[in-house]
Amino acid sequence: MLPVDDIRKKLLTQRRNLFRQVAQTEDELLWLETDVESEVEERGQEESMVRLLDRLDGRAKAEIEEIDRALFKLGTEQYGRCEQCGKAIPPSRLEAVPAAALCMVCAQAGENQAALRK
Ligand SMILES: [Zn+2]
């Protein structure tokens, strides 16, 4: 069984670090220090998040989306399962990349395809 709380913490830290790169005002930095998970509904925080999201580049945005998806799946059977082939993703991979949505084989196949397209 995977330590859900540890993974959640890791994911939230990753997410925060991504946002931190583009945080500029005190408000935004403050928002990053608050518990993102419990208070997301609050209006002011949501505005900060939208502003920060705007400044992130495509790659960072994709990473945040991946992290959010993983957080959403965490605690369900879907977490830790490859979205492509449905096989369990090895815990060692999840430890290194907690937001991983694909197993190593499928992730590599995807990268090869992307490389071919160039
Ligand atoms: Zn797979």
CA–CA separation, 107 and 97 (whole Å): 12
**88 within some domain:** yes
DSSP string, 53-64: HHHS-HHHHHHH
Place of tokens 């925060």: 16
Map residue 86 onto helix, strand or coil.
Answer: coil
pLDDT higher than 80, residue 35: no
The predicted-structure confidence for 47-104, as pLDDT tens digits, reads as follows 777 888 899 999 999 999 999 999 999 989 999 999 999 999 999 999 999 999 999 9
Domain containing 86 — which CATH number? 1.20.120.910
- For ligand 1, an ion, list residues with CB under 5 A: 82, 84-85, 103, 106
Tokens 């993974």 -> residue: 7
CA of 82 to the centre of ligand 1 (A): 5
Segment 8-33 shows an average pLDDT of 88
pLDDT of residue 64: 93
- 92 Cα to the center of ligand 1, angstroms: 15
In a domain, 83, yes or no: yes
- Could you tell me the distance, in angstroms and rounded to a whole number, from the CA of residue 83 to the centre of ligand 1? 7
